[in-house]
Every structure is written in structure tokens, then in C-alpha cells.
């Protein structure tokens, strides 16, 4: 009888379903989008390697909307300090020293050239390993090239596709980086961009070469360390702290004059910020659902008023108050669940629109699906109980005389 009533008042049913669907869509859509952002952050920082940490002269800084957290900046790490650390650090790990030369270089090959947004980095032979980069073509730097600072370079896949559009092999070709000529010895595999770094649009040159040809006052070096597995991270960072404190002449009882940044530190910090957004989005979603509950209750009350004679006839031929109450409750629950299913589907699509933009995986938020459908059931009960009780309490004689 409830389903027959729903079909016979199709327009009213559609409007009610839309109210519920929009409420659930806003809740599931926002929360799914936040899950997509968290997946994107974890995926990007996983590219750096969960078993890698950096030694640098400043703490992490997160700047959102012009407001950033206050960070300490220490004295720069010079070349001698960085090389001393690499030599003295005897923990079983891979250590590399690198420096940023410029981020606005233009790369030329014959008549082709890139935009002036290429990052040039000076690296040692271990950098590819610690940065999680793999070679698609060519080879890594040898010790002689690193020692002498030769004019050789490893380029990113995006640069290779830009300069060599006709599937020409870039290996051993000579390109111009700024005013210098460099021979290509390798091309890295495509891996997309990570937070603050795009390996596909970077040129890697020997550390000594960048020190000489991209020199600037007070150059600041960074150190990257990759341990064999994540269980060694605490021991490795502890050893690194002790070695570098000695190199920096940090006195006993003084704070470290440097920072050790694990690859998951920034990811955890940003995900912590998204959790606050998640709380706000959940509150907004519940407010929207409250509006949907009020709308559903209003429509069910109108339905009771319109069907007063029908209720009187049912009671006259033997329907009990409980039967009438259950009929209206079932109507409310069915309408709410249809709206909930449609809202969940729409919310997943909207949330995964963010996944498509960030190029992360398609997410099926099972927790939010169960929560959404559960909330629909609760909304249906809360908004349907008053109209159902009103219908059940109608006097059959007065109802038959209605209109």
C-alpha cells in the first residue's frame, strides 16, 4: 500500500527524493573529495620514498591562503659541511648531496627550446636512488664525471619529448642550458609531479658543474639519506643528528642548528589540515540533511492532510492505528532511501571529480556510503514519525466527512 501510494503521487515523491539526494550528495561529495585529496598527498609523498629523509637548514613551512606556520631557519649548509656528513655518516644507507642551481632555465636543441621553467640541479651519483628516480634511457653519472664536474646531463622525460618530438634518440645529443653546452647521458622515466618538484621537467648535472656555472653567493646544500627499510628510520635519523651536530659544532644542551625532514612529515601536516576541513564539511552536510529532514516532514504532513478521507476509509474497514502509522513510516523510509542511493552515487561522482583533477585513484568511500544511507534511515524515522502519528490518531468518522 505504501509503494502504491508513492507511485500514485509521483511528482511529490520526486521532489522529496531530490531534497534528500541533494543533502546526501553534499555530505558524501565533500567527504569523498577530501579523501581524494588525502590520497593525492600520500601518493605524492610516497614518491619521495617512505624510507628517505633530508637534512636541511630550515623546518617545514606550510603556507595556505597567505597564512603559514612559523618555521625556524638556520645557518646555511655549505659544501664542506655537506661533504663531511657524506664522508662521516657510516650508517648502512645511501647518502646523496644536491643543490638547486636555478628554476628558470631554458633548454635548447637546434631549433627547439623549452619554456623558461626548467629546474637545474647539481647532484652526485647517489641522487637518482635517494630521489626515487629511474632511468628510461642512458646511464647514471660515473665517479669521474662527478669529480671533474663535466658538462653532462640527465634530463626529464618531459624535456626529452619537447626537444625531440620526432622520436629521435636524445642520448649523446648536445643541448644548451643557459650559456653552457651539455651532452645528454640519460633520460628519467616519467613519474608526474610531486609536491614542489617535477622530476619530468628537471635537468640533473654533476654537483661540481652546477657549483661552478650556476654559482651564487651563500649556496645552500641539502642532504638526502635513504635507508634499506622503514624500520631503520629512527636509528638512521638519530645517527644523522649526532654526526651533523658534531659537524655544525652544536654545543651540548643546545638545540639542533638544522632540521631532519622525513618524507611523510609534510604529508601528515597537510592531512592534519584536511581533517579540520573534514569536520567543517561534515557539519555543513548535517545542516543540509537537517533541511532535508524538515522538507520531508513537511511533505509527509501535507500528504496526511490530502489523504484524510483515504485514512478514514482504511480505518472504517478495519485498519488499526498501528497499520496506518507503519504505512506512513514505510513511505518516508522508502522515499529517503531512494534519495540516499541517488545522493550517494552523485556524491561519489562529484568527489571523484577531484580525483580526476589531481590524477589520483578512483575512490569508493564505503564508510561514507554506509553513513549516508544510515543517516537517510534516521532522517526518515525522525521526519516521518510525527506525520505517521498524526495519521494514526485521526478519527475515522471525522476523516470520512473531510471535504
Domain around 323: 2-43+269-400
pLDDT at residue 9, rounded to an integer:
76
Q: Residue 232: CB partners within 8 Å, gap ≥ 6? A: 51, 92, 93
Give the pLDDT confidence of 310-369 residue by residue, as tens digits: 888 888 888 888 888 888 888 888 888 888 889 888 888 888 887 777 666 677 778 878
**Rounded CA separation 267/44 (Å):** 9
Same domain, 249 and 145: yes
Cα Rg for the chain, rounded, in angstroms? 32
Q: Is the dihedral of CA 134, 138, 143, 146 positive or negative?
A: negative
Please report the pLDDT score of residue 263 as a whole number. 64
Rounded Cα distance, 398 and 403, in Å: 10
- Residue 231 makes CB contacts below 8 A (sequence gap 6+) with none
The whole-angstrom separation of Cα 354 and Cα 133 is 27
Q: Give dist(CA 340, CA 332) in Å, integer.
A: 12
Segment 213-270, tens digit of pLDDT: 998 888 999 999 988 877 888 899 999 999 999 999 888 888 888 888 876 655 666 6
Domain count, the chain: 2
Instruction: Please indicate, yes or no, whether residues 313 and 166 belong to a single structural domain of this protein.
Output: no
Pick out the chain residues at pLDDT < 70: 41-50, 59-72, 192-199, 263-274, 358-361, 402-403
Residues found in the chain: 403
Q: Phi-psi bin for 155: left (phi > 0), alpha (psi -120 to 50), beta?
A: beta
Same domain for 291 and 248: no
Model pLDDT, residue 98 = 94
296 and 197 share one domain: no
Count other Cβ atoms within 10 Å, centred on residue 129: 17
Q: Say whether both 221 and 345 belong to one domain.
A: no
pTM score = 0.59
**99 touches 284 (CB < 8 A):** no
> Is 88 in a helix, a strand, or coil?
helix
**Statement to judge: residues 123 and 100 lie in one domain:** yes
pLDDT for the residue 78: 92
- Residues 96, 221 within the same domain: yes
Residues 39 and 73 in one domain: no
Domain termination residue (choose one: 229, 262, 295):
262
Q: Which of 130, 131, 127 is nearest to 141 (CA)?
A: 127
Assess whether 131 and 234 both reside in one domain.
yes
3-state secondary structure of 98: strand
Cell numbers at 104, concatenated: 628558470
Contact 55, 265 (CB under 8 A): no
Residues 58 and 38 in one domain: no
State residue 307's pLDDT score.
77
Q: Write down the pLDDT at residue 327.
A: 83
Q: What does the alpha-carbon distance between residue 343 and residue 376 come to, in Å, rounded to a whole number?
A: 10
Residue finishing a domain among 225, 243, 262: 262
Kindly list the distances between the CA atom of residue 375 and the CA atoms of 38, 148, 346, in Å, as whole numbers in the listed order.
Answer: 24, 68, 16
Rounded Cα distance, 246 and 251, in Å: 8
Strands 222-227 and 174-177: unpaired
Amino acid at each position: 500500500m505504501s509503494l502504491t501510494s508513492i507511485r500514485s503521487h509521483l511528482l511529490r515523491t520526486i521532489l522529496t527524493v531530490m531534497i534528500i539526494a541533494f543533502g546526501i550528495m553534499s555530505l558524501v561529495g565533500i567527504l569523498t573529495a577530501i579523501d581524494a585529496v588525502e590520497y593525492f598527498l600520500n601518493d605524492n609523498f610516497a614518491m619521495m620514498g617512505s624510507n628517505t629523509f633530508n637534512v636541511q637548514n630550515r623546518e617545514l613551512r606550510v603556507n595556505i591562503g597567505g597564512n603559514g606556520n612559523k618555521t625556524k631557519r638556520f645557518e646555511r649548509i655549505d659544501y664542506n659541511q655537506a661533504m663531511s656528513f657524506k664522508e662521516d655518516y657510516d650508517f648502512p644507507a645511501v647518502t646523496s648531496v644536491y643543490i638547486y642551481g636555478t628554476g628558470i632555465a631554458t633548454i635548447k636543441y637546434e631549433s627547439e627550446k623549452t619554456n623558461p621553467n626548467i629546474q637545474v640541479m647539481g647532484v652526485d651519483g647517489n641522487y637518482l636512488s635517494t630521489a626515487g628516480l629511474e632511468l628510461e634511457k642512458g646511464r647514471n653519472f660515473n665517479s669521474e664525471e662527478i669529480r671533474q664536474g663535466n658538462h653532462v646531463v640527465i634530463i626529464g622525460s618531459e624535456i626529452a619529448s619537447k626537444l625531440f618530438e620526432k622520436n629521435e634518440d636524445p642520448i649523446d645529443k648536445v643541448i644548451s642550458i643557459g650559456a653552457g653546452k651539455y651532452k645528454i647521458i640519460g633520460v628519467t622515466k616519467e613519474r608526474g609531479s610531486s609536491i614542489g618538484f617535477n622530476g619530468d621537467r628537471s635537468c640533473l648535472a654533476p654537483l661540481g658543474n652546477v657549483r661552478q656555472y650556476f654559482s651564487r653567493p651563500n649556496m645552500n646544500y641539502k642532504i638526502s639519506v635513504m635507508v634499506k627499510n622503514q624500520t631503520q628510520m629512527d636509528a638512521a635519523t638519530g645517527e644523522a643528528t649526532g654526526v651533523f651536530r658534531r659537524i655544525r659544532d652544536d654545543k651540548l644542551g643546545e638545540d639542533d642548528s638544522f632540521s631532519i625532514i622525513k618524507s611523510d612529515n609534510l604529508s601528515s601536516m597537510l592531512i592534519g589540515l584536511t581533517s579540520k576541513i573534514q569536520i567543517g564539511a561534515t557539519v555543513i552536510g548535517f545542516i543540509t540533511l537537517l533541511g532535508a529532514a524538515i522538507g520531508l516532514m513537511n511533505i509527509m504532513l501535507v500528504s496526511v492532510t490530502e489523504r484524510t478521507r483515504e485514512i478514514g476509509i482504511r480505518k472504517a474497514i478495519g485498519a488499526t492505528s498501528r497499520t496506518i502509522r507503519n504505512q506512513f513510516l514505510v513511505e518516508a523510509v522508502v522515499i529517503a532511501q531512494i534519495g540516499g542511493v541517488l545522493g550517494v552515487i552523485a556524491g561519489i561522482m562529484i568527489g571523484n571529480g577531484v580525483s580526476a583533477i589531481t590524477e589520483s585513484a578512483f575512490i569508493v568511500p564505503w564508510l561514507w556510503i554506509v553513513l549516508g544511507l544510515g543517516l537517510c534511515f534516521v532522517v526518515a524515522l525522525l521526519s516521518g514519525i510525527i506525520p505517521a502519528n498524526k495519521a494514526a490518531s485521526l478519527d475515522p468518522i471525522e476523516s470520512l466527512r473531510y471535504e
